[in-house]
Each structure stands twice: as structure tokens, then as C-alpha cells.
Amino acid sequence: MAQKTARTKPRLSAEALWDFAVKTLAARAYSSGELRRKLVRKADRAADVDEAISRLRDYGYLNDRRFAESYAGFRLENQGLGKSRVLRDLRQRNVSAGLAEGAVSRVYKNVDEVELIESFIRRKFRPKTPLPEALQDPKQLASAYRRLIRAGFSSSNVIQALKRISKGDLLEGFEPPEETEEL
């Protein structure tokens, strides 16, 4: 009986790796770190990865600063997320901490976070009862708080926005719940 052998994918030469990198960037934007990780898995030689990354930067196809600002702008404009969430996501995409912080600072420079939170709440929360009434329930309030924290908003601004919306006394003694529970 013949044994099946595992098929290994052929590794890419320097020129094939370059073609792969350009096609990959044509599909969507990547940070240098993300693309490097992807290319290392495909490359025949590690030196080819560095050469491809360098060429991509020289041609202007790969720019981490532009990527970080574009990514932060998209997350703000289309998803209305807070700064800390965008920073965390950029770090997961292998953008350096300094570059990520600079990009997020520039994009969020003139953003009123409390207004952003209120906009996020209006778009994302659909309780069966009107929102001010729903937030009178401590469980609903804690759930809303956790969801807003995960969306990247600061604790103090979340509480301020929830106080504006709830118009009740429940938030006067509100203590932020433990952030370990997932919804």
C-alpha cells in the first residue's frame, strides 16, 4: 500500500515574491510588519523578503505612516471607534507604537469623544424600550458600559455620555463593572 506524502508548496524566488507582494498590496493595504510576516511564509530565502520590502518602500507602495493614518481614519469615520481600540488594532497589525500613536493623535485631534460615544450609542444600541429607560436597568447599563469600553472609549467619557442619555440617578453612584465578562 502506498503512503501519501505531504505536499509542500513551492517557495517563491525573489522575482516571484515581488510579484506576490505587489498583488497582495493591490488587494488591500498592509503594514510593513504584516506584509513581512506574509512574505516570510512564501519566500525561498529570507534576504528576498527584505529586498522586496525595501523595493516596495522605494516605489511608495508600502508606507506605514500612510497606512496607520488611513486605517485610523477609516475606523473613526466608518465605525466610530475610540482611540484605544484603533491603537490596539494598529499594534496587532504590527505598526510601531510611536507611529500608531502619532497617526491616531492626528486623526482624532479635533474629535469630541463624548459626541462620538453618543453617535456610537445611537447607531449600535437598539433596545426594545427607549434607550434612557433601558439604561435604568443596572444590567443594561453595565452591558452598555462594557461595550463602549471595548469600542475604545475612555471610562470617564463613557460615564459622562451615559449620564447624558440616561437622565436618571442610577449613574450617580455607578461603579464601572469588571471588564472580564464578555457579551
117 and 169 share one domain: yes
Residue 36 included in any domain: yes
Residue 69 included in any domain: yes
147 and 102 share one domain: no
78 and 53 share one domain: no
Averaged pLDDT, 105-114: 95
- For the stretch 55-95, pLDDT in tens is 999 999 999 999 999 999 999 999 999 999 999 999 999 99
Q: Is the pLDDT of residue 13 over 70?
A: yes
Please count the structural domains in the chain. Answer: 3
Residue 182 included in any domain: no
Of 5-14, 42-51, 124-133, which gets the smallest average pLDDT? 5-14
Q: One-letter amino acid identity for 61?
A: Y
121 and 168 share one domain: yes
98 and 135 share one domain: no
Distance CA 162, CA 148 (A): 10
Instruction: Give the DSSP H or E segment for 172.
Output: none
| Residue 151 CB coordination number (10 Å) | 20
88 and 102 share one domain: yes
Domain range enclosing 28:
14-59
Q: What is the pLDDT of residue 182?
A: 41
- For the stretch 24-46, pLDDT in tens is 999 999 999 999 999 999 999 98
Average pLDDT of every residue of the chain? 87
69 and 99 share one domain: yes
39 and 68 share one domain: no
44 and 96 share one domain: no
46 and 69 share one domain: no
pLDDT band at 2 (very low <50, low <70, confident <90, very high): low
Residues 6+ apart with CB under 8 A from 149: 155, 158, 176, 179
Which three three-digit cell numbers place residue 177? 463593572
Residue 40 included in any domain: yes
Q: What is the pLDDT of residue 175?
A: 59
pLDDT band at 6 (very low <50, low <70, confident <90, very high): low
Residue 151 included in any domain: yes
- For the stretch 111-161, pLDDT in tens is 999 999 989 988 888 777 788 888 888 888 888 899 999 999 999 899 888
Q: Is the pLDDT of residue 17 over 90?
A: yes
Residue 180 included in any domain: no
- DSSP H helices, the chain, are 14-27, 32-42, 46-59, 64-79, 83-92, 97-107, 113-124, 131-134, 138-150, 155-166
